[in-house]
Structures are given as C-alpha cells and as structure tokens.
Chains A and B, each alone.
Chain A
Amino acid sequence: DSGVTQTPKHLITATGQRVTLRCSPRSGDLSVYWYQQSLDQGLQFLIQYYNGEERAKGNILERFSAQQFPDLHSELNLSSLELGDSALYFCASSVGPLINTEAFFGQGTRLTVV
C-alpha cells in the first residue's frame, strides 16, 4: 500500500459526459501529480499541484482540469469525454515540489468511455 488513495477504482461512462477522479496523497506529501496511462502512449504526465498551486503542466487537454484543495486532496475533471480518453489515470504524491526523490503512486482509476 503506497498510502495514495484514488477513487473510484473503475468508471464506465458515455461519450460527452463529465467525470471527476479523486486522489488523496500520502500523509505529509504536498505534491500531487496526475498521469494518464494508455496502451499506445504509455504513462503521460498531465499536471502537478504543490500545496494548492499548479506547479507543472504536461500533455493535458483543455477538456481536462484539476485542482488541489486545502486539505491537499486533488480532483481531476474530465469533460466532453471521447472514446480515446479511455485509460488508466494515476495519481502520485511526493513530499516536495520536485520529483527527484521519489513519488508514490495510487492504484489508479480505470476509465472506460463507451
């Protein structure tokens, strides 16, 4: 158990819909990272928040947004869903703003868009 909690574990939804994925980081970690893992693209960095503020942005679509709340949990919002958004979405957390040491990954949310 990494200490990072992601909910839900599975999500099936229709095209055009909107979903919210939730992540609770390890106790004491201030950074939260979101990654998307698909078969053809591998693990792709989406976005990072550190202590409530956006810290780094990767290949995140405009239809996607995220935020980190004062209690440090984070949510990833995916809207106008397309079939190609089906993937595993992982959240990771680390103590500081830089990823040089180590990040701990949650078990992921498997999103299926039908």
Chain B
Amino acid sequence: TQLLEQSPQFLSIQEGENLTVYCNSSSVFSSLQWYRQEPGEGPVLLVTVVTGGEVKKLKRLTFQFGDARKDSSLHITAAQPGDTGLYLCAGARSNTGKLIFGQGTTLQVKP
C-alpha cells in the first residue's frame, strides 16, 4: 500500500507553461518534504512544510501543505528546461525517523 500518492506520474510540457504536482495521503504527517532528483544523483531537498495550510515559495516554485496535513502540492510557474527531473514528496511523522516517499513525478520541460 502506497501511503503517499503522487499525481501525475509523468508530465511533459513546453517551456513557459505552468504545472501542479499533487501529493495525497489518508494519513496525517507532522511535516512534508519535497525533493528533486536528477538522473544518477541523490534527491535534493527543496522545501519542508510543517504547519497545516502553510505556503512556501522558492522562486517560481510554490509549495502548499493541506490544512489537515494529509496532502501537499507543488506548483511551478513558467517552467524551464532546467526544471526537468523527478519530483518526490516525502512525509514524516514526529515520533519516527523515517520518511515515506511518494512514487515521484517525472517532469520533462521541452524548450
């Protein structure tokens, strides 16, 4: 059973378009992290959201944590080819040391 469901799994868009990636769960998490992974590399942390309803912006990327802390979204404005990669959401529970990862969204931005 996948505790964190990401959608879509694959996304291929043109440069300049906007997109949203969703990360949904029936479980509550104390925090949720978004990572970006490039081929042959390890995941790199983009952001951590902790408070229900929290919105964080990182240049053209906007991250939101759902009010109930069960879901999150990543919105990219005016996507660029450099945004291409695998985007992973990961949920943490406060009393454990493990992250539960979603299956990832593979994003391809064509010039």
- B42 x A33 contact (CB < 8 A): no
Alpha-carbon separation in the docked complex, A100 to B99 (Å): 9
Scan residues 71-111 of chain B and give those whose CB is less than 8 A from a CB of chain A. 88, 90, 92, 94-104
Which of B41, B50, B104 counts the most chain A CB atoms within 10 A? B41
Residue of A nearest to B45 (CB): A102
| A8 close to B (CB within 8 Å) | no
- A48 x B45 contact (CB < 8 A): no
- A105 x B97 contact (CB < 8 A): no
What number of residue pairs across chains A and B have CB atoms under 8 A from each other?
69
Q: Can you show 7 pairs from A to B with CB atoms below 8 A apart?
A: A35-B101, A42-B103, A48-B97, A56-B96, A100-B30, A100-B94, A101-B48
Residues in chain B near residue A104, CB distance under 8 A: 45
| A74 close to B (CB within 8 Å) | no
Number of interface residues of B (CB under 8 A): 26
State how many angstroms separate the Cβ of A48 from the closest Cβ of chain B. 4
Task: Give A contacts to B, CB under 8 Å.
Answer: 2, 4, 31, 33, 35, 42-45, 48, 50, 55-56, 58, 90, 92, 97-108
Known: A56-B98, A99-B99. 17 other contacts (CB 8 A): A2-B42, A31-B97, A42-B88, A43-B90, A45-B101, A48-B97, A58-B98, A92-B42, A98-B95, A98-B97, A99-B97, A100-B48, A105-B35, A105-B43, A107-B41, A107-B42, A108-B42
CB-CB under 8 A for A102 and B33, given A43-B43, A108-B42: yes
Alpha-carbon separation in the docked complex, A55 to B97 (Å): 7
- B99 x A103 contact (CB < 8 A): yes
- B41 x A103 contact (CB < 8 A): no
Residues in chain B near residue A97, CB distance under 8 A: 97
State how many angstroms separate the Cβ of A96 from the closest Cβ of chain B. 9
